[in-house]
A and B are shown apart, each in its own frame.
Chain A
């Protein structure tokens, strides 16, 4: 009896024109979709957040595309890709990395201008909470995600001691906008065995399995279209030949236009592949709808 009433109710809902599929584009407040991280998920610059890419709300499909340059003293990383946000619930992303060793490539015996490449496929699902609107609650928006990474220099990454050239990170992210303080906070735990984000493969002679790593971000809104902040990200140290450092950045994100965000950051990525003090500029251009 209850079941048949439920079916009738379902039928009524399906028949009501107000509940027809009238999806719409846009609707999020500026910058509340975050920016594109270096790995393609929505978040800060180097930390992945629980927000979903794109400007859509619960009734639409949105997306974003990005191009990012990280210019370091001895290396450069170019990253470009796209993400789709579905009903502010599910995010699917793809990003391509090109890591240029420039002159350092010769010093490392790889050849000048040797490049490492990587494909990163991401999926994220918002589980609970509302980072933006639930301002009367401390419960953050929580999402879980996976990033499958496939590095393209199999022989080299194995030669430096990596166990695999492919791997998957799993993460849980919690994000909260504290509107009364004009602040945004994020904490993410990532279970990963990636070496240098996966560019140097996965696992190594020192540590072969996933370890829990932390990503934290804190930002302050200066205006509806400008957020400044800082991030810290720990990384595993799996390879014996070169110690891997934690990453740090200070960033400013500016929504130049409803659909265009420019992010500039000063990033300290520490030592990379025995080359010291890789601190430089992070520049990212993102278009979102």
Chain B
């Protein structure tokens, strides 16, 4: 009986999402690549934590199934990607999170991302925000924070 319970617990632990190890780096909110909004109006426009979670899940799923850019996500740590994206969006939208991921430059290093890939990414994010019912002007305010990341993300 106790062996059975132990097995269930072990299986349960194995089924939980795990992240691959990354090289050590210094955690800092500055790594998020954008400053946070001054108040929580944007966080509310994105429907708080649940809304942002839904947007990130839909955004990642759209990117993975997008024939233009889906290959970029193959072999990447999607568990970690979802977590740090949620943190990053929450931090920028002033939802009270700290961002624990790497800088945009480090996180996208040697991926060979092109400008057109960024365009596809933005379209997928727009679709995810639209599906969540985020106001179009709020979408654009958020995209205005993300757009300058092109400089660090696009390599060619």
Chain A residues in the interface with B (C-beta under 8 A):
18-19, 24, 26-29, 57-60, 88, 132-137, 179-182, 221-224
Contact = CB atoms under 8 A, between A and B. Distances in A.
A236 B119 CA distance: 40
A52 to B, nearest CB: 13
Interface in B99-153: 112, 114-120, 122-123, 126, 136-137, 140-141, 143-145, 147-148, 150-151
A133 B150 contact: yes
Given A18-B156, A19-B156, A182-B140, A26 B126 contact: no
Contacts of B143: 135, 179
A102 B156 CA distance: 53
B114 A59 contact: yes
Contacts of B145: 135
A27 to B, nearest CB: 3
A230 B132 CA distance: 32
Contacts of B141: 179-180
8 contacts: A57-B116, A58-B115, A59-B116, A134-B148, A135-B143, A180-B144, A182-B136, A182-B140
A19 to B, nearest CB: 7
Nearest to A183: B140
Contacts of B151: 133
Contact of A27 (B116, B140, B156): B116
Interface of B: 112, 114-120, 122-123, 126, 136-137, 140-141, 143-145, 147-148, 150-151, 156
Nearest to B148: A136
Nearest to A18: B112
A57 B115 contact: yes
Given A24-B116, A133-B150, 16 more contacts: A19-B156, A24-B114, A27-B116, A27-B117, A27-B119, A57-B114, A57-B119, A59-B114, A133-B147, A133-B148, A135-B144, A135-B148, A179-B144, A179-B147, A180-B140, A221-B136
B97 to A, nearest CB: 21
A285 B126 CA distance: 26
Contact of B119 (A29, A180, A181, A182): A29
Contacts of A28: 116, 119
B123 A59 contact: no
B125 to A, nearest CB: 11
A135 B116 contact: no
Contact of B122 (A29, A182, A221): A29
Contact of B136 (A18, A58, A60, A222): A222
B118 to A, nearest CB: 8
Across the A-B interface, the 3 shortest Cβ-Cβ residue pairs: A27-B116, A179-B144, A57-B115
Contact of B140 (A88, A136, A221): A221
A105 to B, nearest CB: 47
Contact of B147 (A26, A60, A132): A132
A114 to B, nearest CB: 47
Contacts of A132: 147
B144 A27 contact: no
Nearest to A222: B136
Contacts of A29: 119, 122-123
A98 B71 CA distance: 49
A132 B149 CA distance: 12
A119 B129 CA distance: 45
B12 to A, nearest CB: 43
A139 B43 CA distance: 29
Nearest to A223: B136
Contacts of B144: 135, 179-180
Contact of B156 (A59, A221, A223): A59
